[in-house]
Structure 1
Amino acid sequence: MTETGPIVVFANFLSDLAVDLNEGQILMQWAQQAPRKAWLLRPGDVLVTPVPLSPEFLRYVYGLTGVSPETVAVVEVPPAGAVPLAQAVREAGLVEHVRALAGDRGAALLPTALDASTIEFAREIRLAVHPYPTIEAAEAALKMTTLLNTKTGFRETAAQLGMRLPTGRVCRRLEVEGVARELLRDHERVVVKPDRSAGGHGMRFVSRDDLSSGAILALETVGGPEGMWVVEECLDVAESVSIQLEVTTSGAHALFSGVMRTAQGSFTGYTSPLPPSFAHVADELEEWGTALGRYLADHGYVGPFGLDALVDEGGAAYASESNIRRTATTTPHTMVTRLTAGSANPDPAWSVSKGWTRSPMGFEGALARLRASGLAFDVERGEGVVLYADAPPDGHSWRYAVIARSAGAVEEHEAALAQAFQFEGG
């Protein structure tokens, strides 16, 4: 992944960049996705993970990527509660172990989220932060990553860059109900967003009926009474879309775009590319994303980021938030690109999603069922289903990726998988 040496993949899902660390429960849930980082490993790399990876899953990953197990290392960090991963590594006494595995080979730290604790940890183990040339360069980007991973910071910046935004206002926690009442005079519903939130966590949808019936807005107290919130009109949404880009030394470049699957505003999956029915927003998304990328570059940021938008029933796109970090689709996209390189399907359609089985399964049982159904990913054809995130702790909620030649073929694979795995509602 670098020209100079190996990578220490630092799966710091427990980070205060997107959500306050007081929201420990949701952070622990997100951390269960850390096994997907194994798809990034190449010979010489190290994975530092807050959750264990099963031997069966690792054999599966290495089998598809062609990586010899003895050429990589996986460091499993014992649970330490809702603390940054760097702190958990220290509490487990693993700092020297990670440093020794990185060695003196020009390695760099690749965090999921660039936050202050990661910068401090990089200094401690004497590694640069990928893709920055120095720790100081990475630290200089912190102000911008912190700002644009907030709803208020994004809304202000997006307006400056000329993006179309839903009608709304930024306010303090104690002002939320009054602002909501004002906006509801002109709009049937509003959405209330905490300043720091990801994947739809903490969002509330409020209608005129909710207020007329005397309902009180039940909001989290994250940030206290002085914490910032955004209240916006609730659009009649036809689709939630996003574009993922990367800032490099040569500028901002679009990587891929697609449709987000959501339930009550929460992220549940993704399909790429954008369907033809929403191709008309692709240029605008790329224009907005590239402008944001230039802005980020001007303020020292380098690396991947995402821009989300809502398309209303009339076909107009409205920017909704930015994620200045590796997102839920960054690693899956890298995995898809890697697995299809040199195959008969070099430009695939793909999706990531989750299904719930009626009975629990372990990884080997799920893989056996996948292979028996004929749906397992085939390297030569570059098509099939990948169990990309290991067995879930509950044995029921399976994350998967589908890679196929077209959006229609992706849908066919997903329908067949739902039947083979006996997903609820499938």
Structure 2
Amino acid sequence: MISEHEGPGTLVILANFVSPLAVDLAEESVLRRWAEQAPRKLWLTRPGDVLITPLPLSAPFRRYAFHRLGVPENSVQVITVPDTPHLPMAHALAEHGLLEPLRTLIAERPTARLLPTALDEAAAELAAHLRIPIVPYETGVPNPGTLRAVADMNTKSGFRAAARTLGLRMPHGRTCTGAELGHVTTALLASHPRVVVKPDRSAGGHGLHFVSRGDQPPKPPPPDSRWVVEEYVEHTRAVSAQGHATATTVEVAYDGEMRMVSGSFAGYCSPLNDLSARARRELTNWTRALGGQLAAEGYRGPYSLDLVCTHDGTLYALECNVRRTATTTAHAMVRRLAGASVWSTGTAAATAPLSFDEAVGHLTEAGLDFQPGDSEGVLLYADRPLDGRNWRYTALAPTRTRLTELEVRLATAFGHEAL
């Protein structure tokens, strides 16, 4: 069970990966790629819940997930919203005539509450239109000031302004327009051998560019676009902490190490280990301070703080994500199925395309398939990938050593030697 289930009634889980909070809605290809992860929200459901997803869920995946959750398959209603370019998902419901079917389902669930992945304006409008509260807001719906603060904190510039106020250590950097980008990049390269050029509103490493002295300048962006240019901090690991803000408390729910490929998020391992006492204190204090500011703006719910750690253990804060992130569902799933565990997420590459049942068969043959009551194993948590090859997984085990063993066996089971 997730914390949002602690209240009365059922949840209407809105998997609104297509949201302007994370990236411009014109970025259709990246939004479509992110939306491929929407099936993982099935792991949050309990009997009576409604899941609104941008992708249909395959029958094998539904059977697989519901069996492990112990949830009757027909007890959860699923509404699929077709891909709709340039529209946030909550608005796409009306575009495709799906509001009335949803309203009918809600009429059968008088204590239903909305749980969006991203708290954007469209989600708030949907909740108001359906006359249901957004969990976990005491007043039902966040006020416009809170929505503006959430939108701002999901930008690189908004985070930098907040971090500066809170005293968080950050890389040296500047915000600028597209017209100023070349000049600002050149100026920072005079002081630093390498810089990172980031779109102001982006997530998961999308749009990042690493520029070193002597490199050819990138193609000029639109002059009115917004950017952040930062010194590149040499680091040994990328870490994050997940906080949760309520009206009365701010807590660090969990932490972990991010697995990165060319600056893009590729997986996670929790909890963190081998962090110095000083770094641990800073990570905790900074995450709570950020949550305190968000709570003061009226925000309630999960958020993350992303950082890098240098070879001497010094932390530098990079950004925050004020929404349910790429790790919140995996963490909730692990806690629900096995309690406190060491866990990881990643992508396992198969040597040839597999059906969902074939992929599960590989796990079973390798002794990795997680079943109800198990304390360790591997779960395929996001349905069959479009290419049938790159399978998103969550692995869980009692210890980190055992977790590493499972991931080595997983790579072998899918036809690859582990690195």
**Greater mean deviation of Cα atoms: 90-99 or 78-87:** 78-87
CA distance in 2, matches of 1:225, 1:409: 51
Asked whether the 8 Å contact 2:348–2:410 carries over to 1, the reply is no
Whether 1:218 and 2:234 are equivalent positions in the alignment is no
Aligned to 1:134: 139
Whether 1:34 and 2:43 are equivalent positions in the alignment is no
CA distance change for structure 1 residues 55 and 239 in 2, over 3 Å: closer, same or farther?
Answer: same
CA distance in 1, matches of 2:143, 2:389: 39
User: 1:153 Cα deviation (Å)?
Assistant: 0.4
User: 1:81 Cα deviation (Å)?
Assistant: 2.5
Whether 1:11 and 2:12 are equivalent positions in the alignment is no
Structure 2-normalised TM-score?
A: 0.96
1:221-254 per-residue CA deviation (whole Å, 9 max, x = no partner) reads 4xx4122211111011111000001001221111
User: 1:178 Cα deviation (Å)?
Assistant: 1.1
CA distance in 1, matches of 2:33, 2:417: 21
Superposition map of 1:2-401 within 5 A: 2-103=6-107, 104-137=109-142, 139-210=144-215, 215-218=216-219, 221=221, 224-277=222-275, 280-341=278-339, 347-401=340-394
CA distance in 2, matches of 1:32, 1:126: 29
Aligned to 1:344: none
1:97-118 per-residue CA deviation (whole Å, 9 max, x = no partner) reads 1111122421111000000111
User: 1:327 Cα deviation (Å)?
Assistant: 0.3
Asked whether the 8 Å contact 1:46–1:75 carries over to 2, the reply is yes
Instruction: Name structure 2 gaps, 5 residues minimum.
Output: none
Asked whether the 8 Å contact 1:129–1:138 carries over to 2, the reply is no
User: 1:339 Cα deviation (Å)?
Assistant: 0.5
State the AA in 2 paired with 1:385: V
User: 1:90 Cα deviation (Å)?
Assistant: 1.2
- CA RMSD of superposed structures (Å): 1.5
Instruction: Name structure 1 gaps, 5 residues minimum.
Output: 342-346
1:293-326 per-residue CA deviation (whole Å, 9 max, x = no partner) reads 1101111000000000011122210000000000
CA distance in 2, matches of 1:154, 1:316: 19
CA distance in 2, matches of 1:82, 1:226: 19
State the AA in 2 paired with 1:254: V
CA distance in 2, matches of 1:400, 1:263: 17
Asked whether the 8 Å contact 1:246–1:253 carries over to 2, the reply is yes
> SS at the partner of 2:39?
helix
User: 1:44 Cα deviation (Å)?
Assistant: 1.1
User: 1:424 Cα deviation (Å)?
Assistant: 7.6
Asked whether the 8 Å contact 2:25–2:85 carries over to 1, the reply is no
Structure 1-normalised TM-score?
A: 0.94
**Greater mean deviation of Cα atoms: 242-251 or 71-80:** 71-80
